[in-house]
Structure 1
Amino acid sequence: MNDVRVLVVDDDFMVARIHSGYVARVPGFEVVAVAHGGADALAAVAELRPDLVLLDIYLPDMSGLEVLKSLNDVDVLMISAARDVATVREAMRGGAVNYLIKPFTAAALAERLRQYAETRRRLTAIGPQARQDDVDRLFGAPKQAAPMPKGLSRATCALVAEALRDAGGDLSAAEAAELTGLSRVSARRYLEHLCASGRAELHPRYGTAGRPEHRYRWLG
C-alpha cells in the first residue's frame, strides 16, 4: 500500500510542527500539509485529498467538531486537550476513528497510527464483500469464549469460582467441595481449570512430612 497521507491541523504553530514530526517518524505515513484553522483545514482537504486528518478541536475560526462534521471521504483522528465526555461522544458520533488527549507522547500517536494502518490493510485485504467475521475483526467484536473441557459445565465452574473468590484466601479441593456441594475430585477439576485459564493459582502448602497440600487462590 502507498504511504498514508496526513493533514495536521492545530492552531499552535509549534505544536503542529511537533505533531508533524511525530507522524513523519512512523513508517508508512507522510505529512502532506499543515493547517492552523478550520477553514484552512477544509480547503486543504478539498485540494490535497489526504487519507487522514489529525484534527484539533480548539481552532481560532471554528470548532474542530464542526470541521469533522463537514468532512467527507477522509478519516479523522481527533487530537485535543478537551477531555469531557460530551466532547468525546460528539467526536465519536461525528465519525472520528480515534481520539488522543493532549499532551501525548510520540509513542502514543505512533501506536494509534499503526492501528489505523492495520485497519486500512485489513479493509483492503477483504475485497469488495465482507463476511461477518471480517467485520467483527475490524470492529473489535469480542471473541467467543473458549469451550469448556469435556465433562465440565460453565454454570458449575461459575459456582466454584464464586466460592474461591469469596473465600478471601486459599482453598483446598476438599474445602471447595464442601462449599459447593461437589465431590472433591470434581471440585479439583474445576479448580485446575480456573488455574489453566488464569483466574486462579496453585499454592502448595508444605507440612512436616509427605506430599504438599494443593491449595488454590482466586486471581480474577
Structure 2
Amino acid sequence: MIRVLVVDDDFMVAKVHSGYVERTDGFSVVGVAHTGADAVRAVRDLRPDLVLLDIYLPDQDGLSVLRELRSDPSTVDTDVIVITAAKDVETVRGAMRGGVLHYLIKPFSYAALRDQLLHFATLQEKLRRLASAGQEDVDDVFGARPRTASTLPKGLAQPTAELVEQALRDHPDGLSASECAQVTALSRPSARRYLEHFAETGRADVRLRYGSTGRPERQYHWRS
C-alpha cells in the first residue's frame, strides 16, 4: 500500500483529493495538512511515500515546503506531486527544479490524478525489480518518451492521436475499434489505425474479447 499525505489549505478540497486517493487501488491517505509547517511536520512524523502538495498555503508557499523537504535527510526521499491553481512559469520551473514527479493544475478530474498515481505505482514497482537500468527504463522514469508529431507514422496526425489516447484513458475497461470510433466520431478504420499504432509502440495493450458468436474482438487498453 502506497501511503499518501494530502496538503491543501482548503479543507473541502483536501477532502475531495483524499477521496480520490482512497478510490485508487493500492493507495491510502495517512494524513492531511493545511499549512506548510504542518506539512513538513507530517512528512517527518508519518514518513509517507508520496505527498500531494499545494502551492498556496497560509504560512509559506509550497515551493518553500518542497525545499525544506529536500534539505532534510529524513524527508529527502519522499516523492512529491504538486497540485495547485498556480500557472505561472516561475512556479512550474521551481517545482521542476525541486524534483517533483508531476504538476497538476486545479481543478482536475479524478481520472487525471488516478493516472499519475498509477504511473507512480508502476515506476516504483519497476525500480524495485531492476538490478540495473537501460535507456528505455530511464526514459520511463524521467518521462522522456517523445510525444511529438514526428514520432507518428506517415498518415497519422497528432491531434487525432491525442483524441484516441484520451478516449482510451477515459475508458479503463478498454475499447474496441468500433467503440473507439463512436466515442471519437472517427471512422472505424481510422480509429483502428491509431489503436494499432499505440499497441505496436507499447502504449496500449490488446486483449481478445469473446462474444457469444463470431470471431473474438480486439480490445485496447491504455497502459498507465
**Same fold by TM (over 0.5)?**
yes
User: 82, 86, 104: which is aligned to 2:86?
Assistant: 82
Counterpart in the other structure of 1:26: 24
Q: Structure 1 unaligned runs (5+)?
A: 144-157, 162-196, 199-220
Q: Tell me the C-alpha RMSD between the 2 structures.
A: 1.9
Measured at CA, do residues 13 and 142 of structure 1 come closer, stay the same or move farther in structure 2, by a change above 3 Å? closer
**What secondary structure is seen at the aligned counterpart in 2 of 1:27?**
coil
CA contact (8 A) 2:82 2:95 kept: yes
TM-score by length of 2: 0.60
Q: Does 1:117 align with 2:115?
A: no
> In structure 2, what is the Cα distance between the partners aligned to 1:51 and 1:67?
16
Cα distance per residue 1:103-146 (max 9 Å; x no partner): 1111111111111111111111113x323342233224447xxx
Q: Give matches, 1:26-175, under 5 Å.
A: 26-71=24-69, 72-127=76-131, 129-142=132-145
Larger Rg: 1
Measured at CA, do residues 84 and 121 of structure 1 come closer, stay the same or move farther in structure 2, by a change above 3 Å? same
What is the identity percentage for the equivalent residue pairs of Structure 1 and Structure 2?
A: 60
**What secondary structure is seen at the aligned counterpart in 2 of 1:77?**
strand
> In structure 1, what is the Cα distance between the partners aligned to 2:140 and 2:22?
28
Measured at CA, do residues 18 and 141 of structure 1 come closer, stay the same or move farther in structure 2, by a change above 3 Å? closer
Letter in 2 for 1:19: H
4+ runs deviating over 2 angstroms: 129-134, 136-143
**What secondary structure is seen at the aligned counterpart in 2 of 1:53?**
strand
Letter in 2 for 1:110: R
Measured at CA, do residues 27 and 88 of structure 1 come closer, stay the same or move farther in structure 2, by a change above 3 Å? same
> In structure 1, what is the Cα distance between the partners aligned to 2:17 and 2:102?
16
Measured at CA, do residues 105 and 133 of structure 1 come closer, stay the same or move farther in structure 2, by a change above 3 Å? closer
> In structure 2, what is the Cα distance between the partners aligned to 1:134 and 1:124?
12
Q: What displacement does 1:88 show? A: 0.7
